[in-house]
Amino acid sequence: MSLLNLKLRVWRQKNGTSKGAFVNYDAPNISPDMSFLEMLDVVNEKLITQNQEPIAFESDCREGICGACSMVINGIPHGKERGTTACQLHMRHFKNGETIVIEPWRARAFPLIKDLVVDRTAFDRIQQAGGFVSVNTGSAPDAHAILVHKDNAEKAFDAAACIGCGACVAACKNASAMLFVGSKISQLAHLPQGDPERKRRAKAMVMQMDAEGFGSCTNTLECEAVCPKEISTRVIAELNWEFMRS
Amino acid sequence: MASISAKILMALSGLFLMGFLLVHLLGNLQIYAGPEVFNAYPETLRHYPVLLWTARVLLILAFTLHILTSIYLSTKNKAARPVAYAQKHSVQASLASRTMLLGGLVILGFLLFHLAHLTWRWVFPEYAALDLYTLTVLSFQNSLVAAFYVLAQVFLALHLSHGFSSAAQTLSLTRWCATTFRFAGYAFALAITLGYVSIPVSIWLGLVHA
Amino acid sequence: MLNASIPEGPIADKWASYCDASKPINPANKRKYHVIVVGTGLAGASAAASLGELGFRVSTFCFQDSPRRAHSIAAQGGINAAKNYKNDGDSVHRLFYDTIKGGDFRSREANVYRLAQLSVKIIDQCVAQGVPFAREYGGLLDNRSFGGSLVSRTFYARGQTGQQLLLGAYGALNRQIAAGTVKSYPRTEMQDLVVIDGQAKGIITRDLLTGELRAHMADCVVLATGGYGPVFYLSTNAVGCNVTATYRAYKKGAFFANPCYTQIHPTCIPQSGDHQSKLTLMSESLRNDGRVWVPLKKGDARPQEQIPESERDYYLERKYPSYGNLAPRDISSRAAKQVCDEGRGVGPGGRGVYLDFSDSIKRLGQDVITARYGNLFDMYAKITGENPYQTPMRIYPAVHYTMGGLWVDYGLMSNLPGLFVLGEANFSDHGANRLGASALMQGLADGYFVLPYTVASYLNHVKPGAIKNTDAQVTGGLRETHESIVRLMSVRGKHSPDYFHRELGKIMWNDCGMARTEQSLKNALSEIPKIREAFWKDVCVPGSSQDYNPVLEKASRVADFLEFAELLCLDALERRESCGGHFREEFQTEDGEAKRDDKNFSHVAAWEYRGSGQKPTRHQEELAFENIALAQRSYK
């Protein structure tokens, strides 16, 4: 495959209090085998050698599991490939000469730090409110003392696959975090281990979610379309159920 | 109030209003049975004042609740994204799901017009003294009125097509089979709308006449 | 001679007697002790949560924006435990034996035995936390087999075991944060260790958002900062993984043990070009059902489907009939390198071998393969644009894990009292090669079950809160850190930190990678200082140090890699034998296997920093094999 010449329109913003704007960059000679972030690396490398500040974006594992990368590519969080994080999105999906618009996650609960980097600690605080099973180290019974129906284990896993990237919030027209919260609630709701605390957990996590300033869900289902782990909005229905029970 | 609690109230009031829409439609369809039957329908209702007023109070309550929760939630939702995207594409969110507030406002406007038209009879003062059947038929011979009614029903259809499955999701009925509710919602919205739209259209086409 | 302070007695009783001997701390006094935990991966998060539960005051630090993003999250395959749920003859002793043998007899028996003992408790703990392990239809836990073992003892959660275990530990950590026993500092990177009167008493950190430097004082410091794989630039590690915390602790007096023990994982997606920023691992579990092969003929450029069965060389099955495709990682990696060196490699540049599932798909059906490896197949397809259900995967070895790390004694304390080191950051349990599904096991054993005891045992002899952050060592450390940042910022050269990192990586991979020679290592040792010099002359860090500045973070980490790489090569040079992941071409058997020199090298090499430009001192800890007889590894 031949190399791509691309144009980028990237949101640049020095920090949360300053005003941001789009800046245009050329990205010439991009290999179709590069990941989207590697393409940005190339652009950044050039900026650095010109002693200019590179485009700030987050990434760590670059294999789609840590949830660090977070950018809206051409109007869709993580870009248009389904079930794919930005770091796993490859340039072979773009056309030569294309202009790519890159924006940060935009939500009140995710204050902007710089360029494409936002503060997602709201997610941590929601988890701290109750996204766990209270079991002290060493107090667990033998693993086989707890039987879990295979279907329930699978459902729990489907929900537990969440990587906490925040694409659901970014995609939602209300910047709602229901898919994120629902995935933890659903995971533990399908396991006997999660049962004793289910009421307290659902209530506390929803209260924290509201307090962080996320919007509420209007069931547009946009979140599941952009979720890199393709978590179903079933978890939101389950969250609603768990909340009603609480 | 927790956002989910507000959503539940919105879903419940919405479902109640959908029930009303269905009952109201069944009443309206009696227009095809001729003036006697159609004019007798409101008269029959007036024979049961307790029932009628209970229904009216509940309806007003449901509307109020639906509107108040929508104001509460949409204010929060708007505040949740202070800076808008320069470019945003929807992957699978339907038009209906993205325009619930607009649809709701249009429906509210229509509702007020509808009340003014057929209940309070302010729209055509010259027909005010006529019986309901004649009033209805004469009004819908006016193309503008018929068109407005049809247009409003299109918005209603959109609103219902999302509202039905959305309420089911909020009430967590979709835990097992989300698609069933989605299609049930489409079917319900289509049936209600076709039913309502048929009346002004039939009159305008002259199929139903005074 | 280093003393690991291993308790007396039979190996099976050592840990129990250690625990019995340590006096519990009065619960009312526990909260007077402040413990710093750096790193929030499996080891760090589990340690911090467990210490918090016990009532200690804990502070955790991570450079990521959330503890949940630590690189443990990326572990795919599974976690070993000697549960013997499969009734296939597994036992604590067998896991112990496999690990010692897998590590090519370069690990400490007592530690490994304890690891095998504690492995069973880890599974219990994680299940209780709600980790969604794979289950059988009866509701019991499922197991699978993994490289280097003939029993099924690996517990897994699809291909995301590390993620699920980490989220379990993260949950436990969150619970303690909510309870107020743990204070979390995300986006805060350790810059230096504070050592006062020979004891670790705190750290100096940089707030990555504001650039603020701060000293945090504590009664002991726990490093759980992972490995140093990215010293090779390309590795399967996250791009943020770094050696900074452990290397700076080394410069403050902690010994660095066996840095040359690096693991090259056999099943990674081959590099596609120079732009590559990282390599992606395909879980070793794939080797359960995939068969590895290359064309029999040199330079055979035919597409794979045109190569008849008789002209394919299933070289692992041929060379190691009993373990076959499940041969340990170091052996499989080297075998892949050999066939590629012979000109039989496939794909671009001839640096790849096939991992073929067609037989398994025929035998089991595509559905079964999808259920087992679906997410891995998807990942492969995403990265390469090829469909692995139809064409075999192409794989090649890549740097994956580092067995070396800071030296620790039996209680996981380094030679600096009060400095504990856990997980991949220490050197303790895997010897010269780590078996698959053992990293998660070690991280969690260290954090949940070992450290809480050994920290308490140490703190029993420490007066809480004895040091104030006005101590001269603290202010000096802050000043030094500030100066080194100013130095980095003021070069204003022409190249990015990545540029030097890549240069370093090339040398490390070519001269100190899967095969090493005296000559290649000497070459590396002469080239590395040149790159380092060029770095300090020509690196460019735009922006400000008082702001969020990822380039500065990177530059600071690369600066440490550029020094540490030399230590790694020096250790590789001095270890004149082949063992596990350390393969010196001069020392091999006739059929190309690693040839150990037990007489001269059955020891841990622990390096002591002697100052900039000085050769570090090599200390030794003798390894005694009292329970397993030293033998040449055989997987034939």
Q: Which of C363, C527, C447, C409 is nearest to C43 (CA)?
A: C447
Where is the domain boundary, A62, A81, A113?
A: A113
Structure-block tokens of residue C299: 């330079």
| A185-197 residue pLDDT tens | 999 999 999 999 9
Instruction: Provide the domain limits for residue B64.
Output: 3-80+97-204
| pLDDT tens per residue across span C388-418 | 999 999 999 999 999 999 999 999 999 999 9
Asked whether B196 and B27 are in contact (CB, 8 A), the reply is: no
CB pairs under 8 A between A and C: 221
Tell me the average pLDDT across C203-211. Answer: 98
Q: Which two tokens stand for residue A174?
A: 């209300």
> Based on the domain organization, do A57 and A151 belong to the same domain?
no
Q: Which residue of B has its CA nearest to A212?
A: B80
Give this complex's ipTM: 0.98
What token pair was written down for C502? 């890549």
For residue B80, list chain A residues with Cβ-Cβ distance below 8 A. 107-109, 174-176, 213-215
Q: pLDDT of C174-189, one tens digit each?
A: 999 999 999 999 999 9
What type of residue is C594? A
Cα distances (angstroms) measured from residue C218 to each of C31, C465, C466: 12, 7, 9
Once rounded to an integer, what is the mean pLDDT over residues C598-605?
97
Region C223-233: mean pLDDT is: 98
Domain presence at residue B91: no
Q: For B83-94, write each residue's pLDDT tens digit.
A: 999 999 999 999
Is the Cα torsion angle C492, C494, C495, C496 positive or negative in sign?
Answer: positive
Range of the domain at C293: 265-399
C366 in the same domain as C273: yes
Q: What is the pLDDT of residue C185?
A: 98
pLDDT at residue number C574 = 98
Write out the two tokens for C486. Answer: 């100013």
A20: domain CATH number? 3.10.20.30
pLDDT of residue A1: 63
**Residues 6+ away with beta carbon under 8 Å from B111:** B63
C128: its two tokens: 């209780």
What does the pLDDT read at residue C186? Answer: 98
Nearest to B87 among A101, A174, A237 (CB): A101
Please check the confidence at residue C486 and state whether its pLDDT lies above 90.
yes
Strand arrangement of the beta sheet that strand C182-185 belongs to: C182-185, C57-61, C34-38, C220-223, C419-421
Cα gap B168→C382, rounded to integer Å? 36
Cβ–Cβ < 8 Å for A90, A64: no
Same domain, C379 and C481: no
Regarding chains B and A, contact by 3 or more CB pairs under 8 A is answered as: yes
How many domains does chain B contain in total? 1
A113, A137, A193, A229, best to mutate vs chain C, most C CBs in 10 Å:
A137
Residue C466, pLDDT score: 83
Residue C278: the pLDDT is 93
More confident residue, C436 or C552: C552
Low-confidence ranges of chain A (pLDDT < 70): 1
Query: Which residue in chain B has the smallest CA separation from A243?
Result: B4
Question: Which domain, by its residues, includes A49?
Answer: 4-113
Residue with tokens 């729209």: B123
pLDDT at residue number B156? 96
Report the CATH number that the domain containing residue C507 is assigned in CATH.
Answer: 1.20.58.100
Predicted confidence (pLDDT) per residue in C555-572, tens digit: 999 999 999 999 999 999
Average pLDDT, integer, range B27-50: 93
Q: What whole-number distance in Å separates Cα of residue C19 and Cα of residue C449?
A: 11
Backbone angles phi, psi at C609, to 5 degrees: -70, 135
**How far, in Å, CA of C35 to CA of C27, rounded?**
15
Q: Which residues of A touch C281 (CB under 8 A)?
A: 63
The answer, yes or no, to whether residue B210 has pLDDT greater than 80, is no
Q: How far apart are CA A201 and CA A239, in angstroms?
A: 10
Q: Which of A204-218, B135-149, C144-158, C481-495 has the lowest mean pLDDT?
A: C144-158
Shared domain for A30 and A97, answered yes or no, is: yes
Spatial neighbors of C308 by CB under 8 A, at least 6 apart, are: none
Residue C633: its pLDDT value, please?
82
Residue C634 has pLDDT above 90, yes or no: no
CA distance A136 to chain B (A): 31
The tally of CA atoms less than 13 A away on the side-chain side of residue C287 is 31
Does residue C560 fall inside a structural domain? yes
Which one-letter DSSP state was computed for residue A91?
A: G
Distance from CA of C369 to the nearest CA of A (A): 16
* Reported confidence tier of residue C169, pLDDT bands at 50, 70, 90: very high
What would the pLDDT profile of C251-289 be if each residue is shown by its tens digit?
A: 999 999 999 999 999 999 999 888 899 999 988 889 989
Q: Are residues A11 and A127 in the same domain?
A: no
Residues A46 and A130 in one domain: no
Query: Cβ distance A62 to A34 under 8 Å?
Result: no
Number of domains present in the structure of chain C: 2
pLDDT of residue A61: 96
C89 pLDDT band, cuts 50/70/90, is: very high
Domain with C307 in it: what CATH number? Answer: 3.90.700.10
Catalytic residue numbers of C, as ranges: 329
**Cα C82 from Cα C99, distance rounded (Å):** 12
